Structure 1
């Protein structure tokens, strides 16, 4: 069978499974819609959490990012993995003991303030929407290649698919759909990695193949370092980076993880606090499988890409190149009219000698980093069924996280704003309707923004993590471990953190009001959430100790969260 037939077959089967699960497990109550009835097993919840966590940024973009950035890309691996450990061990059990559906619900109750709840809702919406934009770009990339249409059309198709099963099933449908999606995405990630490792180094284990020798006896990483330096780039494994920014980006990703609403809510879908801890452990194992494989895929992909294209006649490019050109995510501009594809670092002044010797006038190849994982099996000429499997896996990763984020948006509006504030007497039927309408609006607007995002998928997602770190992290941690922090401090801290971080990101990444030379202390927009978190923490503590302590009832509630004698089901109201 041809590549296209395999892809249609593989994607069709997986989508039929997802839609079937959504219909079978459709939500009939607000508790089903928000927390899947609170009856999901730890193993299933671990798989669903892993799928929710490993978004298009993990599956599609992270390996591409590491391919092009080398050593510095490790900040994403360290930040996201370390952040999940922080969330699972430090926060999830206590939040589960508290028994509320959402982070704004926790903030509103812990800080005894409707104003705090509203600010938390705003932060949750801002964070989740930023994250959704990244996922919708990932959906567009996968659909564009799968259907051989323009990227914008791919996003539009993704909007329809996500909307259908999210609106229908709520958290109950999403949870069991994500279990299936995890199975698809991890299989799709590992199979080509095993093939590539075996072909390149003779070792079927990608993690070991990364440090292995290629057929000519050279070490794989040494070979890639040589290729990089020959093209005018610094060595792939070079650690010559801005260590300040690397630290701040890693910390933002780590601390932001602990404040991500769509991950936190997953721990409310299990019956007991013990089950929340157990499902967190399962999820960590499932996540580690992909995260330890990503660096190997990055190296294989970058080596294969350059080897396949450098100095190749454009008239003789393989079919995969033409297919990706049609999506608008890969392009070639023949600047010296020699008909050959030349990929050099045109920002490196040391390449002037190369330019003079071969008539080269600049880099002629434009590559969107987010296509690397999807294109890699085609570049390496793997079997057609493997290519189709990777497309199905990329769609599973993007759709699973998009669904979880959209649910957070819907619950923030229908539950936290309407039920808890504006219309406390709203019926359950109308609350569900409001949740579904919120999802509809969010996925359409997120899709439109995803067509022209302020960066590649992992970068946009990093912005969301920074916003979560700057707004929620201090409020959640202090809310659990300090009885003294009050509503005045939390309100002031969240406002300062989210406003500062959002303004910095908008100025430098959206409106392009300056370059790296203008960054504060050399901190990029991806890492500014750490500084925003520090501002939040300082403001929270200063204001707290200048204002009265919380009511005794609230302090006793905090003590009961930290020293639990048991926990009941998540509360609906």
Structure 2
């Protein structure tokens, strides 16, 4: 165990040193570096950074565990998160890049010519990013807690210190190149175990092909134990919840401020589209592997752990019980651990599987480093979004428009430090599982930013009063439904708190359209700017005609 601890610690510390070194080398020295990496990131590397930003602790740590426990119903997470990138890449990212602002609230304020709308959007950015960050810091606590064999709360505090340091130092420029390194670490860490487990269980090292064989065996085991079948849909939730969750994650993806701002770091609309294409490829490597991971983990637990003597369980169980993420109890007193007596958190399945499959200390350590990379990469991007909302959209645009670059950088860095510490304190006692907390952030984004951005780009008639009404109504409905469903047991058609975004988005779109139609139209100049966003960068819409400015 000591040797395993040493190897894991060495791999994690080496990766930490790499991230800090990159941040120091790419230290932000101007506001354009801090907010948009000087718009100079090549599309393929931006795609990697997007992938790392996107593949958070929820994706790396929680997704396979959610699918393992929920079965078919857990696929809503994979389909929703992947589909959302298609919406973002084709309907929003290139257009927002052409508009040429630093942040999403800045786009909303200038597109709708409303300072009030910009301030509301800045507050919404802080709320959404803060909620999402709680999930990431909670994930880092799970990883560090297991590594050091301490409570997850102590692990969370260690993660807070690291994230606050390299995020505040490097800004978007430093975080972008740090995320490229983090993507390479996390995808290697994710693929090596699942490939070796596939080889171990099926003799085929291609998990995306071979895991179907294991799913067939799981069906037989489910029938034998008389439990819910793994591949039967809508056993955990209703079909309406499945569709609502999928929509919430898709619309939320297209409206998340920390994801959208990644498309601002490239030089052109074309580069933004290519960034999205590369990101889908890099993200697909993990998302296509998660169902295989889930099937393999469930199979090993059902065949090699369940049914064992309670006094002769594998050594790995003791370490995970100490973290509070695993519970084993001989409830019927027969001395045998039954499947129903094994309670495993969604959030430890991926982390524990290399130990469960006895893949060796190097793979276990590599998995720990990958999980930390996933949690840190997304948390860093979220902190930049919160910092930009506070220092750029609120402080610079509303409080002190004459602030120097040095002053704005100082405010931005302190914003990151304070936000990370506060989010870390909340993450010490998280209000739900990682995937659940992250789903709330997506619900809030789908009820606020998604309608504002879609209508802002594709409906010229949408105006300032309309977007203000839409964001306020959307946020209120989404928050209200989350609290009513989670704490009051209130649901519509079986849709629980994680699917709240479908109601928020619908309410926001209706409010935006109704109020826009009842109030004054936007100026003709704004209408032409909106129409102009839909054309490639070489084309400009002027006076009712499309002008080609240069050859492609």
Determine if contact 1:130/1:463 at 8 Å carries over to the other structure.
yes
Give 1:210 deviation, angstroms. Answer: 1.2
Q: Secondary structure at the match of 2:255?
A: coil
CA deviations over 1:19-72 (Å, ceiling 9, x no partner): 110111111111111111111111111100110011011110000000000000
What is residue 188 of structure 1 aligned with on the other side?
189
Q: Which residue of 2 aligns with 1:8?
A: 9
Residues 122 and 393 in structure 2, CA contact (< 8 A), matched pair in contact too: yes
Residues 450 and 420 (structure 1 numbering): CA distance in 2 closer, same or farther, change over 3 Å?
A: same
1:264 and 2:244 correspond: no
* Deviations 1:465-502 (CA, angstroms, capped at 9, x unpaired): 11101101111011111111111111101100001101
What is the CA-CA distance between 1:451 and the residue it aligns to? Answer: 2.1
Matches within 5 A, 1:28-427: 28-212=29-213, 220-241=214-235, 242-344=238-340, 364-427=341-404
- 1:396-420 superposed Cα distances (whole Å, 9 cap, x missing partner): 0010000000100000000000111
**Separation in 2, partners of 1:421, 1:255:** 29
TM-score by length of 1: 0.91
- Is the 8 Å Cα contact of residues 94 and 273 (structure 2) preserved in structure 1? yes
How far is 1:565 from its partner? 4.1
Unaligned residue ranges in structure 1 (runs of 5+): 213-219, 345-363, 569-573
Secondary structure at the aligned position of 1:341 is classed as: coil
Report SS of the residue matched to 2:348: helix
SS in 2 for 1:366: strand
CA contact (8 A) 1:273 1:567 kept: no
Cα distance change of structure 1 residues 65 and 427 upon mapping to structure 2, 3 Å threshold: same
450-459 or 124-133, which moves further after superposition?
A: 450-459
Q: TM-score, normalised by structure 2?
A: 0.95
RMSD: 1.5
Matches of 1:111 and 1:433, distance apart in 2: 29
Pairing 1:540–2:512 present: yes
The answer on whether the counterparts of 2:478 and 2:504 sit within 8 Å (CA) in structure 1 is: yes
**Is this contact kept in 1: 2:98–2:537, CA < 8 A?**
no
SS in 1 for 2:498: coil
Q: In structure 2, what is the Cα distance between the partners aligned to 1:480 and 1:227?
A: 51
Residue 549 of structure 1 is aligned with which of 513, 521, 526?
Answer: 521
The aligned residue for residue 499 of structure 2 is 527
Write the deviation string for residues 403-440 of structure 1: whole angstroms up to 9, x where unpaired.
Answer: 00010000000000011112111222121111111111
Q: Any unmatched runs of 5+ in structure 2?
A: 541-552
Give the whole-Å Cα distance in 2 for the aligned partners of 1:229 and 1:236: 10
Residue aligning to 1:354: none
Alignment pair present for 1:490 and 2:467: yes
> Could you list the per-position Cα deviations for residues 205-256 of structure 1 after superposition, in whole angstroms to 9, with x for gaps in the alignment?
11001113xxxxxxx2122123234444211001244111111110110011
Q: Which deviates more from structure 2 when the two are superposed, residues 552-561 or residues 524-533?
A: 552-561
